[in-house]
Amino acid sequence: MILQVEVEERFADVNAYFYIDDKTNHGFLIDPGAEPEKLLHIIAEKNFTIEKILLTHGHFDHLGAVNAIRAKIDLNVVMHKDGRIYAENADWNFSSHYGSNITLDTVTYLDDGAEIDLSVNPDFKVKLISVAGHTADGAIYYAEKDGVAFVGDSIFLGSYGRTDLPGGDEKALFKNIKTKIFALPDDTVLLSGHTPPTTVAAEKTRSWFK
């Protein structure tokens, strides 16, 4: 099961995602950027057991609800190994610019290619694929079994992520979109942080890519 939840951060609407194993009702919460009460309500209402929070990158609008959720549920947070500076520095994650000064501790930092599975069902898993460019730590989580990739702000429906914030690199982002995201099967559904779903095939046709 994939459940997309739009959460309202003060300055933007953000897509958070639950990726849940139907057999066990265990799963992952991806990019909980805001409205922790809303996300916690869904977890309780649907009786989800969230084993890990997965972060596609370290911007505040994707991690803003983490601390409040962890205050209620004991669970691990995972991100790419280059995310430490974003997790621990409010200037890099940009929360300081909006008066929040959010930082995270006790994060598990993983290498490119790491597989993350459920303790109750190791066959239910995602693969972390490094897609730096929007940020230095940008990553996607690819679930081959279901043909989906949670892509954060690396690529959107008809567009791609901005690269003018700390750690951004437009040349690197374009290269990684081409060699990492567009290397996935054409029918892979791309679930982004701020737009409706799209597919690899659809985004390959865009003028910005050509």
Q: Give the model confidence (pLDDT) of 28-70 as tens digits.
A: 999 999 999 999 999 999 999 999 999 999 999 999 999 999 9
The number of distinct structural domains making up the chain is 1
Say whether pLDDT at 210 is over 70: no
Give the C-alpha separation, 59 to 91, whole Å. 10
Q: Which of 19, 13, 8, 23 is nearest to 189 (CA)?
A: 19
- Indicate whether 70 belongs to any domain: yes
pLDDT of 148-190, one tens digit each? 999 999 999 999 999 999 999 999 999 999 999 999 999 999 9
Whether 74 and 66 have beta carbons less than 8 Å apart is answered as no
Let me know: does 139 contact 179? Beta carbons within 8 Å: no
Q: pTM above the 0.85 mark?
A: yes
Pairing state between β 139-143 and 198-199:
unpaired
CATH number reported for the structural domain that contains residue 18 in this entry: 3.60.15.10
Return the percentage of the chain with pLDDT > 90, whole number.
92
| Range in 33-42, 49-58, 96-105, 118-127 with the lowest mean pLDDT | 96-105
Residues 1 and 66: their CA atoms lie apart, in Å, by 21
Domain annotation covers residue 83: yes
Domain of residue 175, residue span: 2-204
- 99 pLDDT band, cuts 50/70/90, is confident
Name the average pLDDT for the chain: 95
Distance CA 162, CA 195 (A): 14
